[in-house]
Every structure is written in C-alpha cells, then in structure tokens.
C-alpha cells in the first residue's frame, strides 16, 4: 500500500488500525442499533411514534450541533489523537449505564427507563459530535484521499460480516431471554465491542499538523463560516441537500417497528432485520467505496437519496411481507452511503486544516433542521406511518435533485496532500 503512495511510510499501519477501529465500533453499534433495537425497546416499554421520533432528533442534534463549539479549540492542537481517546469514553460509558438501568427498571418503571434511554442517545451522540471534527481530521492526515473511500467501505464491510452473526445473536437473545434482561444483554455486548476500538485509535501514527491556528472567539468563528458560505455556492446547495437528507432518512428509524406491527411479528424479528441489513451492507459497501474513489462521494449521495425514496414507497404500498423487507434493503443502502460518504464529502471542500470547520458548518444546519423531525412523530401518531413515509419519500427525491443538479463535485479541485509521520 505504501508503494502506491510513495513517501507515506505509515499508510499501511494507519489503514489497518483505522479498519480495526471501525470494525469494533460499528459491530458494537449493531447490538444497540438506533434503527432497529432501540425503537423495538421503546415500543416494548410502551412508547409511541413520537418517542421513536426523538431518536433521530436527539442523534442528529448531538452529532452535529456540539462540533461547532470545539472547532476553535481543535485548531490549536498539533495532534488530535489524545483528545479523541478522552472523548471516546463519553460515547461508550452511557451505554453501560443504560444496560444496568434497563435490567433494574425496564419491567417495573418503563417510563424512567425510556427517559434514560433517550438521554443516553443524546449524550452518546454529543460525544460523537465532539469526536467527529478531530476524527475526520485525523483520517485526512493519515489516509491519502485515493484510499479513503476504500477505507470506509472495508471497515464497514468487515463490521457487517460480524453483523450477520450479530443478527443471529440478537434474535436468540430477544426470543430466549426474558424482558428486560434480553435488551440489557445486547447492550453489554455492544459496550464491550465499543470499548475495544479505543486501543486501535491509540495505535494510529498521527503527524503534527502542518498549520496550528490560534483560537478564535465564537463570534469571529461565525464570521468565518459566513464568509465561507458566501464564497461557495456549491457548499450552500450541499447544505440544503443535507437538510433534506436528514428528513428523508428519518423514516429509517420507523421501518422495523412498522413492519413488526403491520405483519404482527415478534420483537425478536429485529435480529432477522439486522441480518438482512448486514447482507445488504456487505454487497453494497465495496461498490460504493470504489465509486467514491473513482467518481467522488457526491454520486453516492444521489444514489442514497433515490434509495430512501424507494424504501418509503415500498413501505407504503407493500402488503406482502417478503416485498416489504425491501424497504429495509433500500434503507440500508442509504445508511451505507451515510457511512461511506456522509462525512467524507465535506472533508474535500477545503484544505486539510479546514476540515473541522467544514464538517461543523454542515453539521450545524443539519442539527437545527433535525428538530423538525419531531413533527414526523406527531404526524405518525395522528395519521399513521404512511403519511410520514410520503413526506420522507418527497424529501429524498428533492435532496437527490439538489445533489445532482446544484452541487459540484468538490474533488474537481486539487486535493490537499496527506502529511506523513516524520
């Protein structure tokens, strides 16, 4: 690998440990999936569609809003890895707390458990939001641009080979272990896998930043963002597309619960859903990774939005269970796009030292607009899930049109070089 990228003596090592990090992280998340396991748990606790709608709202708010407030600090660090390792625990320990709370109070105090669950979703997402800017900066500094699509695809692909086995484990645990211990077991497993990725990050070789910038006041940072948006029409349209993207993908959180209710399935079917999603990821990841490396990440965004629109239409009209499963399949393709290209594309709008501010700028708009997803939960309670699926389908097609006709592939400019460790 280093022979293909002369001068990058640590590329092979960094690629391998980036893969291990991703495999442990995504494998752990499978057992605490916000798209299948947690919505089913909320339903088991007596929750409503409005409660389920809080999952994407809190996740998006947590992932995207906090990053803007750490950008100034990140700019002052010559190396980002020590901060990443410290913040990693904020993403993981709350899941352990939730496992114990679910075990102790899930049966007798379901509303308390649900409140803790939603708080954990937000806290862990905030941890992720604080990690995202330095994490993708670290990726840009240690992995050449021509390998990033393959990196994201390989680690996602590997983790979802694990996901096939995980789906079987989830099915067995949910069906054979009594509630609420069954969900607690899944959380303990997920927490254990999530912790294992921290040593992988520690073993990545990080170079010193080429440019360490002084901290700036928050008001001045907003001024920088304003000037950046005024100067880049394509970035403005990309943000519009990502806001529509957030609405379109919100329906994915409802698919598992909707199918279980519509076809009168057991909650353990969530494990079968996990296997279906994992197989989809395995098939689609390499294709999207290669497409991103050859054509850029924008093409994947268009594909993802068309697929989520198709997923919603299938969910609306399918009265035959085997056909309805394809709502999960097409939704999983969109989920794959998010993991392969969702953060990778904003990385390419500017120079490497600008990556945190570009990711944060996109995130602040997505986080704010995601609050509107609550209205989807209200709509689901009043008029049923099909109304939500129609809204999400239209949003998906609108986002696809924006990406296809208004956004210019940022890779057309000369990409910044990756500095190797000296």
Residue 2 inside a domain? The answer is no
Contact 387, 258 (CB under 8 A): no
* pLDDT band with cut points at 50, 70 and 90 for residue 211: low
Q: Does pLDDT of 421 surpass 70?
A: no
Residue 189 inside a domain? The answer is yes
**Calpha distance 332→29 (Å, rounded):** 15
Measured in whole angstroms, the distance separating CA 155 from the mean position of its chain's CA atoms is 14
pTM reported for the whole predicted model? 0.75
Closest CA to 100 of 88, 112, 91, 86: 112
**Calpha distance 251→385 (Å, rounded):** 9
* pLDDT band with cut points at 50, 70 and 90 for residue 414: very low
**Calpha distance 22→223 (Å, rounded):** 35
Widest CA span of the chain, in angstroms? 61
**Which pLDDT belongs to residue 325?**
92
Residue 273 inside a domain? The answer is yes
**Which pLDDT belongs to residue 7?**
44
CATH of the domain at 347: 1.20.1250.20
User: What is the extent of the structural domain holding 354?
Assistant: 11-202+216-411
Residue 260 inside a domain? The answer is yes
Residue 186 inside a domain? The answer is yes
Q: Does pLDDT of 209 surpass 80?
A: no
Residue 208 inside a domain? The answer is no
| Span 267-291, average pLDDT | 83
Q: Number of structural domains, the chain?
A: 1
**Calpha distance 406→242 (Å, rounded):** 12
pLDDT per residue as tens digits for the range 162-191: 778 888 888 899 989 999 999 999 999 999
**Which pLDDT belongs to residue 89?**
81
Residue 418 inside a domain? The answer is no
Residue 289 inside a domain? The answer is yes
**Calpha distance 120→115 (Å, rounded):** 9
Residue 163, Cβ density class (10 Å: 0-12 exposed, 13-18 middle, ≥19 buried): buried
**Calpha distance 239→402 (Å, rounded):** 10
């Amino acid at each position: 690998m280093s022979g293909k990228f002369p001068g990058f003596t640590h590329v092979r090592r960094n690629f391998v440990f980036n893969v291990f990090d991703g495999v442990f992280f995504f494998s752990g998340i499978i057992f605490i999936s916000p798209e299948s396991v947690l919505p089913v748990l909320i339903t088991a606790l007596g929750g409503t569609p409005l409660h389920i709608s809080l999952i994407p709202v809190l996740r998006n708010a947590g992932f995207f809003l906090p990053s803007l407030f750490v950008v100034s600090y990140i700019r002052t660090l010559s190396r980002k890895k020590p901060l990443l390792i410290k913040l990693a625990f904020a993403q993981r320990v709350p899941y352990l707390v939730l496992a114990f709370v679910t075990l102790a109070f899930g049966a007798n105090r379901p509303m308390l458990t649900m409140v803790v669950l939603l708080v954990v979703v937000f806290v862990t997402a905030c941890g992720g939001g604080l990690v995202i800017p330095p994490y993708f900066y670290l990726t840009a500094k240690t992995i050449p641009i021509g390998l990033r699509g393959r990196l994201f695809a390989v680690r996602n692909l590997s983790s979802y080979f694990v996901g096939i086995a995980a789906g079987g484990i989830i099915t067995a645990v949910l069906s054979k272990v009594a509630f609420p211990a069954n969900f607690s077991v899944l959380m303990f497993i997920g927490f254990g896998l999530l912790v294992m990725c921290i040593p992988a990050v520690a073993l990545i070789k990080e170079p010193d930043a080429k440019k360490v910038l002084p901290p700036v006041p928050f008001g001045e940072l907003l001024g920088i963002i304003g000037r950046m948006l005024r100067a880049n029409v394509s970035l403005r349209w990309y943000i519009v597309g990502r806001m529509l993207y957030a609405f379109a993908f919100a329906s994915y959180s409802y698919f598992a619960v909707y199918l279980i209710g519509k076809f009168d399935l057991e909650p353990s079917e969530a494990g079968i859903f996990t296997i279906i999603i994992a197989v989809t990821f395995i098939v689609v990841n390499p294709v999207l990774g290669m497409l991103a490396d050859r054509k850029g990440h924008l093409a994947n965004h268009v594909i993802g939005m068309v697929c989520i629109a198709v997923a919603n239409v299938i969910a609306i009209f399918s009265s035959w269970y085997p056909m309805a499963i394809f709502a999960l399949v097409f939704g999983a393709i969109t989920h794959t796009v998010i993991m392969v290209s969702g953060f990778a594309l904003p990385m390419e709008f500017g120079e490497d030292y600008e990556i945190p501010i570009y990711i944060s700028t996109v995130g602040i708009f997505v986080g704010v607009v995601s609050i509107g997803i609550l209205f989807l939960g209200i709509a689901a309670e009043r008029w049923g899930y099909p109304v939500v699926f129609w809204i999400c389908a239209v949003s998906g097609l609108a986002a696809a049109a924006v990406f296809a006709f208004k956004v210019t592939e940022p890779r057309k400019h000369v990409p910044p070089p990756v500095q190797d460790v000296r």
